[in-house]
């Protein structure tokens, strides 16, 4: 496809399959809002997984200054990845780099929840029209399906939480919180054994038997779980929250309830450290992992994550 960039045009990438196909219903509302405000937009639809990566990359290379994801966390993840790669390709400074926005019409919308981006389409569009941005941190993961790297903005999960996420995403008709609740019940029925991993934080490392590790830039994952209750999007650090000992099956409900309100760190079972560089390695290919809800691996042996503080210009409420 051929797109013509103008100084003020907004490039919107809409995932019609987000929210089990319901996102496409919002196309008219989005186009109508910007038309009424006399704001030029070019809206394109993704056709397959990873389309948004390439579309975002091409838009930046063609000179668009505002790139918007219309979808869920996965769509935003791809757009951020495409924008970052094109920015690096062009050698742009942060001053000259494009701004990223979000219209949250997906399934979980975890990033939007913490970034205070309205779920109401008209209000989300108004926020983008305002164009007020601030500098956020983003991360890059290496491993699994992405040995050459995959950028993320909300967080990375390993263990029980991504297992729930993958089951929820496999449902054909069920979406939102209900899909995650059903996914959680399925995981309980086949409760995972602890994995022995080596966690390297910069020059330090330790061994841990665990079933859950969350590397959080944002706070919420899985539509309802506050995995990083103290995380901030712009503090220059990842919050790594992990089960420091195995969780028994008969204990899981007690701890799961803590995740709904983000109080797990008040128990003896969960610990936190902060870092910009983390590597997690298992002896076997047992790591189940996602980045921003998108599958990284259902069985890999190692992942490495690096944070880039304040390097992404993002439109959001403060």
Angle between helices 73-90 and 51-61 (to 10 degrees): 40
Q: Domain locations in the chain? A: 10-131, 146-308
Q: Which residue has the higher pLDDT, 189 or 4?
A: 189
| Residue 59: strand pairing partners | none
Beta-bridge partner residues of 281: 198, 302
For residue range 196-232, list pLDDT tens digits in order.
999 999 889 999 999 999 999 999 998 888 999 999 9
Phi-psi region of 124 (alpha: psi -120 to 50; beta: other; left: phi over 0): alpha
- Give the three-class secondary structure for 30: helix
DSSP 233: T
Between CA 309 and CA 314, with CA 312 as vertex, the angle to 5 degrees is 130
Query: Are residues 310 and 137 in contact, defined by beta-carbon separation less than 8 angstroms?
Result: yes
State what percent of residues in the chain have pLDDT above 90. Answer: 80
Terminal-to-terminal C-alpha distance of the chain: 36
What is the pLDDT confidence band of residue 170, given thresholds at 50, 70 and 90?
Answer: confident
User: How many Cβ atoms sit within 10 Å of the Cβ of residue 203?
Assistant: 6
Where do we find the tokens 């990083």?
A: 228
The band of 31, judged by pLDDT with boundaries at 50, 70 and 90, is very high
Phi and psi for 96 in degrees, rounded to 5? -95, -5
Burial class (CB in 10 A: 0-12, 13-18, 19+), 253: exposed
- In the structure, what pLDDT confidence band is assigned to residue 1 with cuts at 50, 70 and 90? very low
Which residues face 303 on adjacent strands?
A: 143, 280
Contact 42, 133 (CB under 8 A): no
Could you identify the residue written with the tokens 């995981």?
Answer: 187
- Residue 6 confidence class, pLDDT cut points 50, 70, 90: low
Under 8 Å between Cβ of 213 and 246: no
Backbone angles phi, psi at 187, to 5 degrees: -65, -40
pLDDT confidence tier of residue 2, bands split at 50, 70 and 90: very low
CA-closest candidate to residue 282, choices 195, 158, 159, 157: 195
Residues 217 and 115: beta-carbon distance below 8 Å: no
Lowest mean pLDDT among 24-33, 72-81, 159-168, 174-183: 174-183
Q: Which CATH architecture has domain 146-308?
A: Sandwich (2.60)
Task: Please state the CATH superfamily assignment of the domain spanning residues 10-131 in this structure.
Answer: Probable inorganic polyphosphate/atp-NAD kinase; domain 1 (3.40.50.10330)
Tell me whether strands 225-226 and 238-243 are parallel, antiparallel or unpaired.
unpaired
């Amino acid at each position: 496809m051929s797109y013509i960039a103008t100084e003020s045009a907004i490039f919107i990438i809409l995932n019609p399959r987000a929210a089990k196909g319901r996102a496409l219903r919002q196309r008219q509302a989005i186009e109508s809002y910007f038309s009424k405000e006399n704001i030029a937009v070019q809206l394109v639809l993704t056709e397959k997984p990873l389309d948004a990566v390439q579309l975002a990359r091409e838009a930046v290379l063609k000179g668009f200054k505002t790139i918007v994801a219309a979808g869920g966390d996965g769509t935003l993840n791809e757009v951020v990845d495409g924008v970052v790669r094109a920015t690096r390709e062009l050698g742009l400074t942060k001053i000259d780099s494009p701004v990223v926005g979000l219209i949250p019409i997906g399934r979980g919308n975890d990033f939007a929840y913490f970034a205070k981006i309205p779920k109401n389409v008209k209000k989300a569009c108004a926020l983008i029209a305002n164009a007020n941005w601030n500098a956020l941190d983003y991360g890059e993961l290496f491993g699994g399906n992405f040995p050459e790297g995959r950028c993320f903005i909300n967080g990375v999960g390993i263990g029980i939480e991504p297992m729930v996420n993958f089951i929820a995403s496999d449902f054909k008709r069920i979406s939102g919180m209900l899909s995650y609740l059903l996914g959680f019940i399925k995981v309980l029925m086949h409760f995972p054994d602890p994995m022995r991993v080596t966690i390297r934080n910069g020059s330090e490392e330790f061994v841990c038997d665990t079933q859950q590790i969350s590397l959080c830039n944002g706070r919420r994952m899985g539509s309802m779980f506050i995995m990083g209750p103290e995380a901030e999007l712009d503090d220059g650090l990842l919050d790594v929250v992990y089960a420091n000992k195995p969780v028994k099956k008969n204990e899981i409900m007690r701890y799961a309830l803590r995740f709904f309100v983000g109080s797990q760190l008040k128990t003896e079972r969960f610990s936190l450290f902060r870092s910009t560089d983390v590597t997690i390695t298992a002896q076997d290919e047992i790591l189940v992992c996602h980045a921003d809800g998108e599958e990284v691996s259902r069985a890999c042996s190692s992942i490495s994550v690096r944070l880039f503080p304040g390097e992404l210009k993002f439109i959001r409420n403060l």
